[in-house]
Amino acid sequence: MEVIPIAPRGFCKGVYNAIRLAKQTAIANPGVRITVLGQIVHNRYIVQALEKFGINTLDDPKATRMELLNKVTEGIVIFTAHGISNNVREEANRRNLTVLDTTCEDVLSTQDLIESAITSKQTVFYIGKSAHPEANAVLESYPSVCLIEEISDIPSLNDHSEIFVTNQTTMSKNDIEHIIEGIIKQYPQATIAREICGATRLRQEAIEKIKQVDALIVVGDPKSNNTQMLAKIAREHHIEQVYRIESVEQLDTSVLRKEMKIGVTAGASTPHKITQQIIDYLNVYDFEQPAILPKVDILSLLDE
């Protein structure tokens, strides 16, 4: 079996920064209650590692960030790398909570573009996913923004409307191009700002460049949008077997074959150590006497 690690993979700068800031805050504030609104990055192992470090996560996919904030009565509140709405930011300040905002700078720069388009009276179309916290922050901060999840969501407006189009940073570049094409057909005058972040784009391009693998393992949390997109792009590029797993603990060894070439990649919120553990396990895999699947060392993940 030939194992092909795909580069780049694993933590992007935004994820790395959010975890670093949370950890530093916990060290600097012993005994203070620290609460993250939602998963700081979409990876349950990181959430567990932060818990062991004394950082609590309020994670209810059905609750809004404001509803989660209402459960926080004291201490430090952390906003995640996906961004937060202005309302939640203001409410946290009004209630005198200490705020640590780990919003990624790429997310902030997209929000700035939206704000200036709205200030100049443009109609904003935002290509994203309704259930994702990055999109929610935008829609809550700017209620006039029109969310476009698929082509059928493009509204019929006055032909001369000034339209500004942008997108969630972790979308598939192929998907957004398809929707942008539909928008331009209807509104040729639209201004387009493609905002897929560098980390997401590079990981997607690396998948497109893979040559002749029989299978690809995509490592990441089911909630991670950029991980989902890597698996989707791999299928679109006709990689026959694509396996999404969260760690080596979920590796299905029954799909491994001696003569196979297997690629390994990971989403931007997947710790490097988790992906490397899979690569290491596969590299020494013995088909006659397979080793027991190892466990993830949760606490070591915060050392990255």
Alpha helix positions (H), the chain? 13-28, 44-52, 65-69, 86-94, 105-119, 133-141, 173-186, 198-208, 225-236, 272-283
Point out the residue whose Cβ comes nearest to ligand SF4.
Answer: 14
Give the shortest CB-159-to-ligand SF4 separation in angstroms. 34
Q: Which of 67, 91, 134, 240 is catalytic?
A: 134
Any idea what the Cα angle at residue 101 is, between residues 95 and 106, rounded to 5°? 145
Q: What does the DSSP 8-state code read for residue 300? A: G
Q: Counting contacts by CB under 6 A, is residue 107 touching ligand SF4?
A: yes
Counting runs of H as helices and runs of E as strands, what totals does the chain give? 10, 12
The torsion angles phi and psi of 280, rounded to 5 degrees, stand at -60, -40
**Segment contacting ligand SF4 (CB under 6 A): 125-133, 174-182, 193-201, 284-292?**
193-201
Q: Counting contacts by CB under 6 A, is residue 15 touching ligand SF4?
A: yes
Q: Counting contacts by CB under 6 A, is residue 279 touching ligand SF4?
A: no
Give the shortest CB-14-to-ligand SF4 separation in angstroms. 2
Give the shortest CB-200-to-ligand SF4 separation in angstroms. 5
Give the shortest CB-176-to-ligand SF4 separation in angstroms. 14
Q: Give the CA radius of gyration of the chain.
A: 21
Strands 98-101 vs 146-148: parallel, antiparallel or unpaired? unpaired
292 neighbors 251 (Cβ within 8 angstroms): no
Q: Counting contacts by CB under 6 A, is residue 246 touching ligand SF4?
A: no
Q: Counting contacts by CB under 6 A, is residue 277 touching ligand SF4?
A: no
Give the shortest CB-10-to-ligand SF4 separation in angstroms. 11
Our CB check for ligand SF4 shows the closer of 37 and 282 to be 37
Residues 233-268: b if buried by 16+ CB within 10 A, e if exposed: bbeeeebeebbbbbbbeebeeeeeeeeebbbbbbbb
Please state, in angstroms and rounded to a whole number, the distance separating the CA atoms of residues 229 and 226. Answer: 5
Active site residue 90: no
Our CB check for ligand SF4 shows the closer of 106 and 163 to be 106
Our CB check for ligand SF4 shows the closer of 195 and 246 to be 195
Interacting residue ranges for ligand SF4, rule: CB under 6 A: 12-15, 81, 104, 106-107, 169-170, 197, 199-200, 226, 268
Kindly list the catalytic residues. 134
